[in-house]
Amino acid sequence: MGSRIDSDKVRLPAVSGQFYPGDPDNLQTQVESYLKPVPPLQGVIGAVIPHAGYIYSGAVAGETVSALSVPDRVLILGPNHTGWGPEISVFSGRSWQMPFGEVRIDADLADQIIEHAPGATADILAHSQEHSIEVLLPFLYYARAEEFTFVPLTLSHISSEACRDLGSSLARIIESSGEDILVVASSDMTHYESHSSAAEKDGAAIERILDRSHQYRIHQEDKYVRYYAYSGDAASGFCPGGFQSKAYKIQYFRRGKRGLRAGGWLRGDCRL
């Protein structure tokens, strides 16, 4: 079977100049201000990184990526905020255009996921206006200081069983590749709650991620569909976090937490 990747399709930035600087020099300066000159941790094969505007999430994103040794190949799982496209969407174009240049798609890995992961669909639409993966690329690029290839995979409203099945499939695909492939789960934590409430819920969720728990349910509240993990934690992107935990259940996983900060403190409206 031929490749499902369309070599003519290039995704243009959706939030350049909004979530992060659109000027490449300003972008590099800002990202490098968040990166820390620390030796990377050994044996890390996955990370959960926030995807808000850099004023809110840049410090934690930079601290986390600084602890990684970014390999040639990266798989990034992100939530689908728009609801467009299939529930499990694998970007099927050639590359993503960013202010610093193109980041090419790992066509072989993308094809493997589309062929062997249940529900994974070759798609462009789900990624066209989605920010959760785009905002992480500058951190990975400037931390690595050279090009890499990646596969963007967005997740919509899927069941816990689908999470487990996809996670297991991703683990088998990555393991069978025989290469280092970093798995990044793009996930902000609790939204629109008091700091004390968010700290309690996020702390419990993080501990369960580190313990490799991965039970999820979807809850309808105030006309917004939120992912709830474990005991009712509201987050943007916890299903990707769960995939990352599940995908490496059968492999060595470096346990550790790099940072957790509330965006409300930074914008001056944090409610205790």
In angstroms, the first-to-last Cα distance of the chain is 56
pLDDT in tens, 213-241: 444 333 333 222 233 332 233 344 444 44
Length of the chain: 272
pLDDT in tens, 34-43: 999 988 888 8
Burial 199-215 (b: 16+ CB within 10 A, else e): bebbeebbebbeeeebe
Q: Which among 137, 227, 132, 216 has a CA at the least distance from the CA of 182?
A: 137
**Mean pLDDT, to the nearest integer, of 61-71?**
91
Q: Confidence band (pLDDT; 50, 70, 90) for 248? A: very low
For each of the domains in the chain, give its residue range(s) and CATH number, in order of start: 10-267 (3.40.830.10)
Token pair for 21: 């600087």
How confident is the model at residue 258, as a pLDDT?
47
Amino acid symbol at 95: S
- Residue 38, class by beta-carbon neighbours within 10 Å (0-12 exposed, 13-18 middle, 19+ buried)? exposed
Measure the CA–CA gap between 43 and 215, rounded to whole angstroms: 25
Answer yes or no: is pLDDT of 161 > 90: no
Answer yes or no: is pLDDT of 132 > 90: yes
Measure the CA–CA gap between 153 and 267, rounded to whole angstroms: 30
Helices (H), the chain: 24-34, 54-66, 107-116, 137-144, 160-177, 195-210, 238-247, 263-267
Q: Provide the β-strand partners of residue 95.
A: 10, 104
Q: Confidence band (pLDDT; 50, 70, 90) for 244? A: very low
Measure the CA–CA gap between 43 and 89, rounded to whole angstroms: 28
Tokens 């100049």, located at residue: 17
Are 75 and 177 a contacting pair, CB within 8 Å? no
pLDDT in tens, 83-96: 999 999 999 999 99
Tokens 């070759």, located at residue: 122
Measure the CA–CA gap between 154 and 226, rounded to whole angstroms: 15
